[in-house]
Structure 1
Amino acid sequence: MVVTMKPILVFCILICLLVPSLALLSSSFSSSPCSNFVFPNDKAFASCTDLPTLNSFLHWTHKPSSRTLEIAYRHTGITSPKWVAWGINPTSPRMVGTQAIVAYQKPDGTMTVYTSPVNGYRTQLQEGELSFPVSDLSASFSNDEIIVFATLEVPDNTFALNHVWQDGPMNGNSLGMHDLFGSHLQSMGTLNLTSGQALASHGGDSNTVLKISHGVLNTVSWGIMMPLGFMAARYLKAVGPSTDPLWFYLHIALQLPGYIIGMAGGATGLLLLLHKSSGIHQPCHMGIGILLFCLGLLQVSALIFRPAKDHKYRYIWNRFHHGIGYTVLLLGFANIWIGFSILKPAVGWVIAYGVIFGAIVLSSVVLEVWKKLTRDGKTDAAQEVTISVNEAGGNTA
């Protein structure tokens, strides 16, 4: 039995699987993870912001009538002993002068939380009184996340505050020095109590935009458009002569723009590398990216150097082109997940691309099975025709 499938059915499968995934990715970009967080005992805050560095989030409620600011500072991704701190600097957005709240988990599992005025760069974050009253101080640790709760007393007519956050290693019960590069030098900003917004300082916003742009551009390029271009060539071509040259034009229409987008993503990665305060120094990720750029250039060059169909070396070029294509697919997927582990985006972004990745893999499996059934069906039909011809020739003889 010959299995057939029209090109429109292939497109329907891809659209049904991938469009919902792309919608999920879009919604995850537009939503704020901090607003979806549920605190224990249904505690709620009026405002929240995803801080641009150090996997941190700040929730707060400003009550002018009582001159209080209730805050919850969350620091996620804590997989090794670490201290965290958040504080307000009454004079400027910098570390020295910050009135901080420090928290960490002891080796016995209990939490320690206290106040510490930062009076110099070589501070050991010793416990001390702050320049303003603090109450309801507590901290918790669960699911690799420390949450610090506190109520601060702020002066009348306070509309904005300079705030600073930080983390560092623990050596038993002793606090180690935090890193002096990258995100650790960008963890400060301004908290607008009127608008409910938080703005980063000292270039933190530009670095964050670069990181997001780098991740989005490369994910769309190597993780979505390149695989779809591969699928268009492999599975539409298998439908039969009726899709020629449709499959080729669709293949080029997806992969050429995909490569250009990947070049733009590589440029943002280079800017991050050259920007000393970005904290991006990942030789493995960068090496794979450079290799992808070179291999992708070889693939795109097929538009110019591809031999004619009847050329005696066309089969060699086909093997070369297909082999590089498979390599680009595998390295592209691998580098995207490596990039996620480096940038540590909000979990919604990872889940959204995970759904897209799963849809691509699932649709490839379904279409690969269809392709095999189609090929086997054609082979069986050809064999039946051959047998019939032979039998007819024998009967004639």
Structure 2
Amino acid sequence: MLSFQIILHGFLLWSSMGFLMPIGILVIRMTNRHEQCGRRLKIILYTHATLQILSFLLVTVATIMSIGNFDNSFTNNHQKIGLAIYGAIWLQAATGVFKPDRESKGRSIWFSIHWLLGVTVSLLGIINIYTGLQSYHTRTMKNTSVWNLAFTVEIVVYLFIYLLQEKWPYIKQIRSDLLDETVTTNRSRNFFNR
């Protein structure tokens, strides 16, 4: 029974920290290109908030499971990092709820704090998934290399999308310029081939 609880604990935290939270971050990064679009911006913001709330709820369930079922002596890194993440998630949730208006003077300070907490929670969450897999291996002696590899591939995909989002407007502009150049070249050829 304990083995099932450990697996469920890990699955809930992967679902939260390894899936919902990164997807929520990727979604909110889309706002950089849609600042002026009211309806689309609202959809993006609500999607981000929904994903982060679901992530928060799953972390809370997994934390309650941990407190109720596991030895929490905080003698290993996985437990210590988990506690730090849980505290940071509560702070992050508070900053999300108490967001100042766009015109507010405190908006840039709020944004910096919210962004920094988000990065911290995300990085610690990724690290803690790896330490959790290591703890599972240590406790059960079961091989976790497939899960480590699968999670590493997942993180690489997220990073690729994250970086692609940053460069996507540039890529679209180059493509547009190349298409314009091709059309111009074809028109010139057609003109001279008459």
**Residue 348 of structure 1 aligns with which residue?**
146
Does residue 17 of structure 2 align to residue 222 of structure 1?
Answer: yes
Output the CA distance in 2 between the equivalents of 1:246 and 1:264.
27
- For structure 1, which segment, 359-368 or 345-354, has the greater mean C-alpha deviation from structure 2 after superposition? 345-354
C-alpha displacement of 1:272:
4.0
Does residue 60 of structure 2 align to residue 266 of structure 1?
Answer: no
C-alpha displacement of 1:329:
1.0
Structure 2: gaps of 5 or more residues? 175-194
User: Percent of counterpart pairs with the same letter?
Assistant: 24
Deviation by residue 1:134-187 (Cα, 9 ceiling, x = unmatched) = xxxxxxxxxxxxxxxxxxxxxxxxxxxxxxxxxxxxxxxxxxxxxxxxxxxxxx
**Number of aligned positions between the proteins:** 165
Structure with greater strand percent: 1
Does residue 3 of structure 2 align to residue 208 of structure 1?
Answer: yes
**Residue 311 of structure 1 aligns with which residue?**
104
Output the CA distance in 2 between the equivalents of 1:281 and 1:303.
29
Does residue 85 of structure 2 align to residue 292 of structure 1?
Answer: yes
Aligned residues of 2:92 and 2:114 also touching (Cα < 8 A): yes
The amino acid that maps onto 1:209 is F
Deviation by residue 1:114-133 (Cα, 9 ceiling, x = unmatched) = xxxxxxxxxxxxxxxxxxxx
> In angstroms, what is the RMSD of aligned CA positions?
2.3
Deviation by residue 1:59-85 (Cα, 9 ceiling, x = unmatched) = xxxxxxxxxxxxxxxxxxxxxxxxxxx
Aligned residues of 2:96 and 2:114 also touching (Cα < 8 A): no
Output the CA distance in 2 between the equivalents of 1:210 and 1:288.
19
**Residue 180 of structure 2 aligns with which residue?**
none
The amino acid that maps onto 1:283 is N
Out of 31, 54, 78, the residue aligned to residue 237 of structure 1 is: 31
**Residue 183 of structure 2 aligns with which residue?**
none
Output the CA distance in 2 between the equivalents of 1:304 and 1:328.
17
Output the CA distance in 2 between the equivalents of 1:282 and 1:209.
22
Structure 1 residues 318 and 303, CA, compared in 2 at 3 Å: closer, same or farther?
closer
Aligned 1:112-261 pairs, distance under 5 A: 206-234=1-29, 236-240=30-34, 241-242=36-37, 243-261=40-58
**Residue 394 of structure 1 aligns with which residue?**
none
C-alpha displacement of 1:352:
2.7
Output the CA distance in 1 between the equivalents of 2:129 and 2:89.
16
**Residue 13 of structure 1 aligns with which residue?**
none
C-alpha displacement of 1:245:
1.4
Q: Per the alignment, in what secondary structure is the counterpart of residue 245 of structure 1?
A: helix
Output the CA distance in 2 between the equivalents of 1:290 and 1:281.
9
Aligned residues of 2:95 and 2:110 also touching (Cα < 8 A): no
C-alpha displacement of 1:347:
3.5
**Residue 126 of structure 2 aligns with which residue?**
333
Out of 148, 154, 157, the residue aligned to residue 359 of structure 1 is: 157
Output the CA distance in 1 between the equivalents of 2:97 and 2:58.
20
Structure with greater helix percent: 2
Output the CA distance in 2 between the equivalents of 1:360 and 1:351.
14
Output the CA distance in 2 between the equivalents of 1:282 and 1:238.
42
**Residue 56 of structure 1 aligns with which residue?**
none
C-alpha displacement of 1:316:
0.8
TM-score by length of 1: 0.39
Structure 1: gaps of 5 or more residues? 1-205, 378-397
The amino acid that maps onto 2:81 is I
Structure 1 residues 211 and 281, CA, compared in 2 at 3 Å: closer, same or farther?
farther
Aligned residues of 1:213 and 1:268 also touching (Cα < 8 A): no
Aligned residues of 1:308 and 1:314 also touching (Cα < 8 A): yes
- For structure 1, which segment, 342-351 or 244-253, has the greater mean C-alpha deviation from structure 2 after superposition? 342-351
Aligned residues of 1:230 and 1:251 also touching (Cα < 8 A): yes
Aligned residues of 2:31 and 2:44 also touching (Cα < 8 A): yes
